[in-house]
Chain A
Amino acid sequence: MIEWLLVTQVAVAVVVGLVGLGLGLAGKGPNDLVLGGLALVELLLIVQVVVSIVAPFTGNTPTGDLLEFWVYLVTAVLIPPAAVLWALIDRGRWSTVILGVAALAIAVMVYRLGQIWFVQTL
C-alpha cells in the first residue's frame, strides 16, 4: 500500500462527500459534478485494488490481517456503483445526499484500510 495514494483517496472521498451533502441539502438533484466525483472515488479504489495485489510481491506487505483488508476493500469498491445506480433511478435531492454519504463511508473505510496495512494497535 502506498501512503500518498491512501491520503489522496481519503481526501478526495471527503471532498466529494461534503460536496454531495452540501448540494443535496441545498436541494440539488445529482449532477455531473457529484456523479463525476463518485466515479473518481471508484477509479481510485480500483487503482488501490491493483496496488494492493501487486504490493506484497514487491516486499510491501501489510502488518495486519490481509483477509480483513480485502473484505473492506471489496465492500468499498461495491458502494459507489450502488449509490450511483440509485441516484440514476431517482434524481431527487436525497439521491445527492446519498452519494455524499456513500463517499464519506468510503473515506472511513479507506482510512481503516490504511490502519490495517500500516498500524496495528489491537
Chain B
Amino acid sequence: MTTLTILPSKRRIETEDGRLLGDCLVAEGVDLNLYCGRRGICGKCFVEIVSGDVPPPEERERVLLEAKNLDSSRFRLACRFRLNGDLTVRIPGPALVSKTRILSTGEGRTVALDPAVRKIAVRPERPGLNSPHSFVEGLKTALGRPDLRISPDTLFSSAAVLSRPSSASGAVTAILGDEDELLGLEPGDTESRLFGLALDLGTTTLVADLVDLADGSVVGTAVGLNGQASFGADVVSRITAAFQDPAQAVLLKEAVIASINALIAEIRRKAGVAAEDIYETVIAGNTAMSHLFLGLPVDGLAVAPFAGLFSVAPPLPAGRTGLDVNPAGRVYLSPNLQSFVGGDICAGAVATGLAFRPGKVLFLDLGTNGELVLKTDHGLQAASTAAGPAFEGTSISCGLAAREGAVEKASLRDDGTIIVETIGAGPAEGVCGTGLIDLIAVFLRRGDLARDGRILVPGKKLPFGGGLALSAADIREFQLAAAAVKTGIRALLASEHLSAGDLDEILVAGAFGARLNIVHAEEIGLLPRLSGNRVKFVGNTSLEGARALLLSRRERLAAEQLVREVRHLPLAQNAAFQQTFIESLAFEPWPARDFAAPGKQEEK
C-alpha cells in the first residue's frame, strides 16, 4: 500500500506501487493534460515531486526538462512516473487541461480542452551509418507511435521536411489527428501555432470563431451572410433549387464555400493567423445546410418522409471541401439528429449540456424552423415545426436579419411612447426577431393590438418610429410562426404527460437578436411563464456548440450519442395538431395548466 498525497488540494489516496502516477491522478479527477497520450513526448504533464523517491529522468524527459527550464531533481512527467513508495506531488497549473467557458449568455459550462488535432514537436534521431533507419521510422520512434498512420498524400507532403538536412534545433512538428494519424509535418517547433475554426452555418447568417487550440481562447469572430441567398431566402427554396439537379447542388455548394472563405479571410486578417495554421474546422448547420455544404443531393429532404443522407458524416479532409484552411486538416460536421432537427440543434444540446441538466428541460431554437428538444427523466425527444421566416425577419414587411440597423429591443415609456434600440445604435432600418417580439408586447400593452391579433388603431398600421410600421399581414405572419412553436411545445409536453408548469427550465436559443426579452415573450404567450428566472435566453448555441465540438473529442462522442438517443415526435400526423395550432394563435399568456393533462391526447 502506497500513500499518494496531492498538492495543493492535500488530498491523500491509498494506491499500489507500480501504477502510473498520471493514471492515479486522472482516476482521482485531476484534469491532467495528457496531450501526447502518455508517451512522454509533449512535456505538458510535468509535476513537482515534493517528497518521495525521484528516479533519474529518461533521456527524452531530460531534454524536455531542459527546454522548459525545470529543476531536474524535482520535476517528472506524470505520464511516465511509476509509483514506488509514498509520494507527495504538487500539480502546477500548466499540467492541467485548460478549460473554456461555453455560452456567453445564459448558463455557461466549461469544456476541457481535448481537441481531435494536436501538434507535437520532436527531434527525430537522424539516420546514421550505424542505424540507417528511414526518416519515417525515425519520426515514429520520436513520437512514441510505432503504429503512426501516414496517408499517401501526407507522405508526399511531408517528404521535404522529413528528409531535409537537420536545422539548428533538429525539431519538426507533427500534426496528429484522431487515432494517431499524421496529418502533416512542419519544420521547427510550431506547437504554439495551432488554430481551429468553429462555424455556425445558418441559412441566412454565418458566424465564425477562430480558436487558439493551445488554450481554447477565441482569437477572432466574424459574421457574414450565406451566399446561397441568391437561390432563395429559406431552407425549402434552397432544397428546391438543388432538387433533382446535381449541377445546381454544386452551385449552391460553391456559393456557401465562397461565403465561408470570405469570412475566414476576414477573421485571419484581423487575428493575423495563416490559413495553414487552421487544422480543424467544425461546422454546425441544419440538415439541408450540412448536405449542401458538401454538395450532396438533398432530394430526400424535399418530399415526405424527409430523409437526409447522413446523420454523422465522417471527418473530411479539409482539402476536399474547398475551405481556405490547411488542406491536410479535418472538417467535422455537427451531427444531424433527424431530418429537420439538424447539426445546429445538436450543437445547441451540446453547448447547453442538455442531456446532463437536472430535471425537465425544454430547449428551443427559434428560426425558420422552430426546433424543440425536451429532456426529461425518460430521455430526449425532439420535434420540428415550420415556423416560417418571421423570427428571422424575412416575411415581415419591415423585417431584417439581426444585423446593424435592426431594431432588437423596444419598450414602452410611462407616457405611452415607444422607445426602440437598434443593433449598432444607428437609425432604425427595420426590425429583427427579438425586436418584433418586444414590439408586439408593447402594442398589446398599449391596447393598439387585440389579443386575437386585430389591429385596433385607425389605418390598420402600427408605427414604431423612423417611418417604420407593422402591418396587419405582419402580425398575422408572426401569429402563425408563434403558434407553430407553441403547438410544438404543447405536443412535446403532452407526449410526456406534462404541463408547462412542470418544467424546471426553458432554454431559448436563436440567432435572431442578442437580447430576447423573456418577460415580453411570456406576455405574448410565445413562451410559458416559469417563476424565478428559469426561462433563459442562451443565444447562438449553434456557434457555441460548434466551439465545444472543436475543443473536445469527448463532446463529439456526446453529440454522436444524441443521434442514437433523441426520439422523434412527428407533429403533422398528430390528430390534435390542427386544433392546438388554432388555439395557439392568440396572444394569450400560456395557461397555468394547459390541456396537456394526462389522458387528453394521443388520439390517433
- Same complex for A and B? Answer no
Residues of B within 8 A of A (CB): none
